Amino acid sequence: MSDLYTGTQAAALATRWRRTLSADAAAVSLSAICHWVRRGHLAPAGRDHQGRPLYALPDIAKAEKATRSRALRLVGIGTP
């Protein structure tokens, strides 16, 4: 099984990817991770010892890619 990440760690990874593409203009917050879950872009792959959701790296990458174009448009990058 691959490594699993907390919501905060998932947000940091997705921010790194987005900032690479947007010249540091776009960030992903923990709130965004929660929205991705509610909208069906990301599903927990497990739970930590306190019952908090954990996410798999491939799933985080897919969710970031699925939401990227809208997020970049919101910060003024890309076509409207």
pLDDT in tens, 21-75: 655 556 778 888 999 999 999 999 999 999 999 999 889 888 888 887 766 565 5
Task: List Cα–Cα distances, 56 to 4, 23, 77, in angstroms.
Answer: 5, 26, 28
d(CA 67, CA 17): 12
The whole-angstrom distance between residue 11's C-alpha and the CA centroid of its chain comes to: 5
Give the mean pLDDT of 4-22: 81
* Per-residue model confidence (pLDDT) at position 65: 83
* Per-residue model confidence (pLDDT) at position 64: 83
Q: Tokens standing for 34? A: 């929660």
Contact 22, 77 (CB under 8 A): yes
* Per-residue model confidence (pLDDT) at position 1: 45
- Quickly list H helices, 1-80: 7-22, 30-38, 57-74
